[in-house]
Amino acid sequence: MTDHSDTQEQQAAAADATTFWDRRYQEKDQIWSGRVNPVLAEVVGELEVGSALDLGCGEGGDAVWLAGMGWRVTGIDISETALQRARTAAEQQRVDARTSFERHDLATDFPSGTFDLVSAQYLHSPVDFPRGAVLQQAARAVALGGRLLIVDHGAPPPWMPEGHEHPPFPTVQQTFDELGLIQDHWRVERLEAIERPAVGPDGQQGVLLDNIILVCRLA
Ligand SMILES: C[S@@+](CC[C@H](N)C(=O)[O-])C[C@H]1O[C@@H](n2cnc3c(N)ncnc32)[C@H](O)[C@@H]1O
């Protein structure tokens, strides 16, 4: 029997996340730089080309770059506004034949299939989001011999206004532990927090902390 109260609650939560992110994207014609995230570019440079899943792909900066490198990429986001921008970027870069952008609310609806690379770049959300469970599903979507790359903010950016509410930033070890990987089935290739110089939205110079997890599926 369907539990209507649960279903309605789930729908309400989903609508909130969708509304939040669509509004966020609609605030401006472009939210992100459009450039590939630096850690992804560094990691992918050493991998053989294959299939990739980009979770929370936003406006498609990473997916379009990956496709330009020859990868077949599925980009997933909750915001149709962001996805439409990603499709346009892929067409403009003439890589649309190697990209597919799909709307999923990862909290309730994870894409099917396995991939040589599953990438989650700054997959944070201030709206109720079961990040641990989503990242566990991300690990299950990695093909044998494939890799999971998670890059997270390890701390708020220095230009974040004081008193600004944000979800807690887990340490890299906390995120890794939450994945619950079977030790013998994975090789840990990177597990570290690194600092990198960055420029804020109003040109502020600062240093950001990135948490990086890169694991390769062995079994
Ligand atoms: C902080 S942004 C990062 C965007 C991009 N990966 C980047 O590095 O620029 C988080 C992205 O996750 C998406 N997102 C948030 N909650 C989601 C959900 N429940 N399902 C799918 N995507 C979601 C947002 O729409 C947004 O594009």
Residue-wise pLDDT for 46-92, tens only, equals 899 999 999 999 999 999 999 999 999 999 999 999 999 999 999 99
Decide if pLDDT at 200 tops 90: no
Structural element, H or E, at residue 62: helix 61-68
Ligand 1 atom with least separation from CA of 58 = 27
Helix, coil or strand: residue 158: coil
CB 148 within 8 A of CB 213: yes
pLDDT confidence of residue 199: 87
pLDDT of residue 201: 77
Residue 183's CB is within 10 A of a number of other CB atoms, namely 7
- What pLDDT does 217 receive? 98
Q: What is the CATH number of the domain that holds 95?
A: 3.40.50.150
pLDDT at 145 over 90: yes
Does residue 2 register a pLDDT over 90? no
Confidence class for position 159, pLDDT limits 50, 70, 90: confident
What pLDDT score was predicted for residue 90?
A: 98
79 lines ligand 1 (CB under 6 A): yes
Cα 34 to ligand 1 centre (Å): 14
Residue 10 has pLDDT above 80, yes or no: no
Q: Tell me, using a 6 A CB cutoff, whether residue 116 lines ligand 1.
A: no
Domain of 113, in residue numbers: 4-217
Name the residue with tokens 């909130």: 16
Q: Which atom of ligand 1 is found nearest the CA of 14?
A: 19
Burial class (CB in 10 A: 0-12, 13-18, 19+), 163: exposed
Expressed in angstroms and rounded, the spacing between residue 57 Cα and the centre of ligand 1 is: 6
In the chain, the number of structural domains is 1
Phi-psi region of 18 (alpha: psi -120 to 50; beta: other; left: phi over 0): alpha
Encoded tokens for 75: 């980009």
- Ligand 1 contacts CB of residue 118 (under 6 A): no
Strand, helix or coil for residue 19: helix
Q: Is 122 in the pocket of ligand 1 (CB under 6 A)?
A: yes
When the pLDDT of each residue in the chain is averaged and rounded to a whole number, the result is: 92
For position 93, what pLDDT does the model report?
98
